[in-house]
């Protein structure tokens, strides 16, 4: 276990595919993923990892979500020329969490999640602001 005063506390890996893309053997790739996650966990390092969507699984290799303590799915949809980003907590080991999709926004102030219960009747105002921003950008 790492000393609280030495070594990294957090690491970002963007993406698993970029890190292990050269490994052609699927079983070797899965073994290396397990080894990396175990190594990070043994040292008490929090890892934020991005991964590509899989065809039949949540992730491309179908392993990342099993060795992770927390899995968050980010989705970007465009419908009738309106863009909506949504967040869903798929897994948060040892915690009770909501399983709904929540709209979110990334802007100059950072990352904002809008719980559906807090939107209430103001949802139209949010949509109007998004449309106005999109029109101003044109």
Residue whose entry in the numeric block shows the structure tokens 């709904």: 100
User: CB–CB of 71/57 below 8 Å?
Assistant: no
pLDDT at 117: 64
Tokens 């999109």 found at? 134
Q: What is the mean pLDDT of the chain?
A: 78
Token output for 106 = 């990334």
Omega of the bond leading into 55 within 30 degrees of 0 (cis): no
> What local confidence, expressed as pLDDT, does residue 23 receive?
77
Pairwise CA distance, residues 50 & 59, whole Å:
9
Q: Is 20 exposed, middle or buried (0-12, 13-18, 19+ CB in 10 A)?
A: middle
Which residue in the block uniquely carries the two structure tokens 């990396």?
A: 36
Q: Where are the domains of the chain?
A: 1-68, 72-138
Note the pTM of the prediction, 2 decimals. 0.67
Dump pLDDT digits (tens) for 2-58: 455 578 899 998 887 777 777 777 788 888 888 888 898 899 999 888 888 878 778
Distance CA(98)–CA(130), nearest Å, equals: 25
């Amino acid at each position: 276990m790492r000393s609280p005063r030495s070594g990294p506390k957090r690491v970002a890996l963007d993406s698993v595919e970029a890190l292990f893309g050269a490994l052609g053997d699927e079983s070797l790739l899965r073994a290396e993923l397990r080894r990396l996650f175990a190594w990070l966990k043994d040292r008490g390092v929090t890892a934020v990892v991005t991964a590509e969507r899989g065809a039949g699984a949540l992730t491309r290799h179908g392993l990342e979500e099993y060795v992770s303590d927390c899995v968050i799915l980010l989705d970007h949809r465009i419908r009738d020329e309106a863009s909506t980003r949504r967040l869903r907590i798929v897994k948060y080991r040892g915690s009770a969490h909501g399983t709904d999709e929540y709209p979110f926004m990334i802007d100059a102030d950072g990352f904002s999640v809008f719980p559906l219960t807090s939107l209430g009747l103001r949802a139209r105002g949010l949509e109007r602001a998004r449309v106005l921003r999109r029109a101003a950008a044109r």
